[in-house]
């Protein structure tokens, strides 16, 4: 059974870099044709796709965040990671990791992690 | 980018009511439209994928229909556990995707 768990600091200072990791169990990141994605949700607001890593290693980012975001993979640990630079209060959100098959829907989600940007 | 709208933004309904939520996209997404339910403090849960396919384990009172730019999610008989916020998501531009703004279903 595929499971995901986000981890990382819950508090980041403005202008610094937000770094999160998603640990995957129940499947291999580079073994199945999924887009391993990051999605965020500011408090009380809707969902925003941040970016995805295809199992082959290609990455895709939301154009509105592309200049600040990167997603990488550590296949030895079966983890993929998100980095978002130069954060502001507007980046305060619950961050979720989730895989999507090529049809693009998300059948499984991590529990989410709240990251607050504040000094 | 594909823009999404949902209507209504919120609704009040009673247990047993039939509820319909509409999602519209700014351009055709074919059948690449998915529906999620989210309860407070929880991750979204996939209900319907590719417009009309019921995700495994989801009660049959949930159904989806539509194509191109106009889609609906219907709950045939609202149950107490269905009070939540519902989001549509277009996956036509996979891996990029866009979510609708959400519809909050509240108890009347």
Chain A residues lying within 8 Å of B34, measured CB to CB: 104-106
Distance (Å, whole) CA A34 – CA B5 = 27
| Chain A: residue whose CA lies nearest to B44 | A109
CB contact at 8 A, B34 and B49: yes
Residues of chain B in contact with residue A49, where contact means CB-CB under 8 angstroms, are 96-99
Per-position pLDDT tens, chain A of length 119: 999 999 999 999 999 999 999 999 999 998 889 999 999 999 999 999 999 999 888 999 999 999 999 999 999 999 999 999 999 999 999 999 999 999 999 999 999 999 999 99
CB spacing of A102 vs B94 below 8 angstroms: yes
Q: Which of A53, A52, A39 is nearest to A93 (CA)?
A: A39
């Amino acid at each position: 059974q595929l499971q995901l768990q986000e981890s990382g600091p819950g508090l980041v200072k403005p202008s610094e870099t937000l770094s999160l990791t998603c640990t995957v169990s129940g499947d291999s990141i580079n073994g199945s044709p999924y887009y391993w994605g990051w999605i965020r949700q500011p408090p009380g607001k809707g969902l925003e796709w941040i970016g995805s890593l295809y199992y082959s290693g290609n990455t895709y980012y939301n154009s509105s965040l592309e200049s600040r975001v990167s997603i990488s993979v550590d296949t030895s640990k079966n983890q993929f990671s998100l980095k978002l630079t130069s954060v502001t209060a507007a980046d305060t959100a619950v961050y979720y990791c989730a895989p999507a098959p090529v049809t693009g829907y998300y059948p499984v989600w991590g529990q989410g992690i709240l990251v607050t940007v504040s000094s | 980018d594909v823009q999404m709208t949902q209507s209504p933004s919120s609704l009040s309904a009673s247990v047993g009511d039939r509820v319909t939520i509409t999602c519209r996209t700014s351009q055709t997404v074919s059948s690449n439209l998915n529906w999620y339910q989210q309860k407070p403090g929880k991750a979204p849960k996939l209900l319907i994928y590719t417009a009309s396919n019921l995700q495994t384990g989801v009660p049959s009172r949930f159904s989806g229909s539509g194509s191109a730019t106009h889609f609906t999610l219907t709950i045939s008989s609202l149950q107490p556990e269905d009070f939540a916020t519902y989001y549509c998501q277009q996956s036509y531009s996979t891996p990029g995707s866009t979510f609708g703004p959400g519809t909050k279903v509240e108890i009347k």
